[in-house]
Amino acid sequence: MIALQVENLCVKADNRHLIENITFSIEEGRIVAIIGPNGAGKTTLIKAILGLIPYETGTVSLFGRPFKNNHSVIKVGYVPQKLEFDRTIPLTVSELLGFTVPPVYMVPFMKRKGAREHIDGLLKIVGAQSLAQRSIGSLSGGELQRVMIAKAIVNDPKILFLDEPASGVDIEGQERFHDLVKRLNKEKGLTVIIISHDLNVVYRYADDVLCMNRKLICTGRPEETLTDEVIKSMYGEMMGAYIHSCHEHD
């Protein structure tokens, strides 16, 4: 089954194309990496797919349904690149994760049987078990990222969108997280779309790669697609240095 189908997607802002005529489809159960230089429109693409920003033309369908307003039918997990929220909000990590645990319509303070264990288990997987009672505004960047990753999968989604999820997480945490994604993919058939700057991650974990710079440049298996030429055309000559510096700064 086709998990995600994007056709002719164009997003404009101030009369400028942020992304242009993007068409691709993703089979269910695959891990697809999206790569491209900074400002290539990767975040814009994901936001448009998720209906968070309007698009000029194009269609998006998820598991065969047009995406508009079907969120409650197909569960989607999302880790945004930059999460904006009020840092003074009195909200603990376990409360935050509790929002997403079904049933949606009930008192969140009344813990459903097993919900607590489920949340604690997930926090343990992402290495955040000690953070459960911490308030969300007091977390460091890396801690917050791990919590958001746990939040994205707490609801057992069918498809997961990750926008540079590993930035701000230490190497060990990254490894653990990528292994987790791989495991969920293997065990539950979770489809994963991940934006990453790290070519090692792309080679090791992704089934397919999608290269873009405003337009789609190429798609396919990483080892066949990521030729020196493609990488050079996207990142320029200083690609090695570029990728590493991005990685560390984020």
Sheet strands side by side (includes 16-27): 16-27, 2-13, 57-62, 65-66
**Which among 115, 197, 101 is positioned nearest to 157, based on CA atoms?**
101
Choice from 6, 22, 35, 43 touching Mg ion (CB under 5 A): 43
Amino acid letter for position 189: G
Given ligand ADP, Mg ion, another protein, none, residue 44, with its beta carbon under 5 to 8 Å by kind, binds ligand ADP
**Does 2 interact with another protein (rule: CB under 8 A)?**
no
Chain Cα centroid distance, residue 229: 27
Cβ 237 to another protein, closest distance in Å?
36
Find tokens 């349904």 and name the residue.
65
Q: Max Cα separation, the chain?
A: 56
177 C-beta neighbours (distance < 10 Å), count? 23
**Does 18 interact with ligand ADP (rule: CB under 6 A)?**
yes
**Does 13 interact with ligand ADP (rule: CB under 6 A)?**
yes
Instruction: List Cβ neighbours of 198 (8 Å cut-off, separation of 6 or more).
Output: 166, 243, 247
Cβ 81 to ligand ADP, closest distance in Å?
6
**Does 201 interact with ligand ADP (rule: CB under 6 A)?**
no
Contact of 32 with 212, CB cutoff 8 Å: no
**Dihedrals φ, ψ of 145, to 5°?**
-60, -45
**Which among 189, 186, 153 is positioned nearest to 77, based on CA atoms?**
153
Q: Between 13 and 89, name the residue whose CB sits nearer to ligand ADP.
A: 13
Instruction: List Cβ neighbours of 126 (8 Å cut-off, separation of 6 or more).
Output: 146, 147, 149, 150, 173, 176, 177, 180
Taking CB under 6 A as the rule, which mask of x and - marks residues 33-52 in contact with ligand ADP? Answer: ---x-xxxxxxx--------
Cβ 199 to ligand ADP, closest distance in Å?
16
**Does 109 interact with another protein (rule: CB under 8 A)?**
yes
**Does 167 interact with ligand ADP (rule: CB under 6 A)?**
no
Contact of 212 with 34, CB cutoff 8 Å: yes
Q: Between 93 and 209, name the residue whose CB sits nearer to another protein.
A: 93
Given Mg ion, ligand ADP, another protein, none, residue 14, with its beta carbon under 5 to 8 Å by kind, binds ligand ADP
**Does 44 interact with Mg ion (rule: CB under 5 A)?**
no
Amino acid letter for position 82: K
Amino acid letter for position 101: V
**Does 72 interact with another protein (rule: CB under 8 A)?**
yes
Given another protein, ligand ADP, Mg ion, none, residue 5, with its beta carbon under 5 to 8 Å by kind, binds none
Cβ 3 to another protein, closest distance in Å?
16
Q: Between 80 and 222, name the residue whose CB sits nearer to ligand ADP.
A: 80
CA pair distance 40, 17, nearest whole angstrom: 11
Cβ 121 to ligand ADP, closest distance in Å?
32
Residues that bind another protein (CB under 8 A): 47, 50-52, 71-72, 75-78, 80, 83-86, 88-92, 95-96, 98-100, 104-109, 133, 135, 138, 151, 155, 161
